[in-house]
Amino acid sequence: MDYVFVLSGFVLLFLGGEGLVRGSVAIADRFGLSKLIIGLTIVGFGTSAPELIVSAKAALDGAPSIALGNVVGSNVANVLLIIGAAGLIYPISGWQRSATRDGLIMTLAALALFGFAHTDVIGRIEGAALLCALLIYLLASYWLEMRDKTPRVAEEETGEFETPWLANIWVAALAVIVSIAILMTGADLLVRGSVNIASALGVSDAAIGLTVVAVGTSLPELATAIVAAIRRHADVILGNVIGSNIFNVLGILGTTALIAPIPVAQRFTSVDTPFMLAVMAGLVLLLVLTRRIGRITSGLMLSGYVVYTISLFAAGGAA
């Protein structure tokens, strides 16, 4: 039954996240907000809603290792699993200036998480600091996009979430409310099932959070990356991963810590956050130096992720 809970939770999180984004975009569009603002904020936050709800629910339910593991594990999976899989389909190239900037922000965010993890508890002060950093990042991104007069990317990203039948603001508002309820239900099922599975398998909440929960909440990003690889849109793949990782640390972890302080298990400080930092910094360094991720490198990334996952369960996911 616990596995049914987990699978049902993933399905509900996907449906709820999709509905939340589409409803929110419709409301924002109805109030005349620019496509750029919608793309940078509502779409960015909305697509990360499943991770946010799961992490917040886990923290409130006394499973902080799932909350933190979801963020750390998602970041690792985004780089090694998602870019690795996409790069096997079609080599990734086309490293642009904006990607260099965002890649640096991603690495700095990972460094901040690495530092906060060594305080033993990621509390409300740290959470507020992360959210402030996210606000500064969004404002700076908006200013730079307007200065360079390149809002087209954000508009294109927003366009895929426009839904004609949500043009009525009351229908859109109802869609948002229902989607939030679906997200809450999905998160409850996923967290409950994950904790029970961890207990039954004799592994820690951290191992489940870093793998099952993290990969499950990253499935939308994986699907987007695979489609982008088939269509040979390398910029979409990189932007998807880098943007998601920034939101995971600054937005999701920041909000979760504000809701409920997160005690940090010892394995996160000694293994997982250093590994996450190395993976993210390695990605930026690789792209800056070579400006390309070929199939061999992609294969090594996937192999690295498999080894990391196996090592988690082989060690019992000990905290």
pLDDT tens, position by position, 39-90: 555 655 666 777 788 888 888 888 888 889 999 999 999 999 999 998 999 8
- Domains contained in the chain, number: 1
Model pLDDT, residue 185 = 84
Model pLDDT, residue 299 = 94
Does residue 211 form part of some domain?
yes
Does residue 102 form part of some domain?
yes
pLDDT digits (tens, 9 = 90+) for 244-289: 899 999 999 999 999 889 999 888 999 999 999 999 999 999 888 8
Which of these ranges, 109-118, 147-156, 158-167, 279-288, has the smallest mean pLDDT? 147-156
Model pLDDT, residue 40 = 53
Mapped onto helix, strand or coil, the DSSP state of residue 121 is: strand
Residues 6+ apart with CB under 8 A from 50: 13, 14, 16, 17, 183, 186, 187, 217, 220
Mapped onto helix, strand or coil, the DSSP state of residue 25 is: helix
Model pLDDT, residue 208 = 81
pTM of the model: 0.80
Q: Is the pLDDT of residue 125 over 90?
A: yes
Residue 80, token pair as written in the block: 């090694």
Q: What is the distance between the alpha carbons of residues 188 and 172, in angstroms, rounded to a whole number?
A: 24
Can you give the CATH number for the domain in which 228 is found? 1.20.1420.30
Q: Are 208 and 70 in contact (CB under 8 A)?
A: no
Closest by Cα among 172, 130, 149 to 26: 172
Tokens 């079609």 -> residue = 90
**Top-confidence residue, 48 or 10:** 10
Q: How confident is the model at residue 173 (pLDDT cuts 50, 70, 90)?
A: confident
Tokens 């039948």 -> residue = 165
Residue 32, token pair as written in the block: 């005349």
Q: Is the pLDDT of residue 155 over 60?
A: no
Does residue 307 form part of some domain?
yes
Does residue 319 form part of some domain?
no
- Say what angle helices 64-76 and 234-246 make with each other, to 10 degrees: 160
Does residue 243 form part of some domain?
yes
Q: Is the pLDDT of residue 148 over 60?
A: yes
Mapped onto helix, strand or coil, the DSSP state of residue 272 is: helix
Taking CA atoms, 160 is separated from 34, 113, 156, in Å, by 15, 32, 7
Closest by Cα among 82, 83, 100, 102 to 91: 83
Most confident range, picked from 1-15, 30-44, 154-168, 273-287: 273-287
Structure letter (DSSP) for residue 122: E
* Domain extent for 289: 2-314
Q: Where are the beta strands (DSSP E) in 54-200?
A: 92-93, 121-122
**Top-confidence residue, 81 or 101:** 81
Tally of CB atoms within 10 A around 18: 19
Closest by Cα among 305, 271, 310 to 297: 305
Percent of the chain with pLDDT over 90: 29
Q: Are 67 and 59 in contact (CB under 8 A)?
A: yes
Which of these ranges, 157-171, 184-198, 231-245, has the smallest mean pLDDT? 157-171
Does residue 139 form part of some domain?
yes
Model pLDDT, residue 100 = 74
Which of these ranges, 94-103, 122-131, 145-154, 281-290, has the smallest mean pLDDT? 145-154
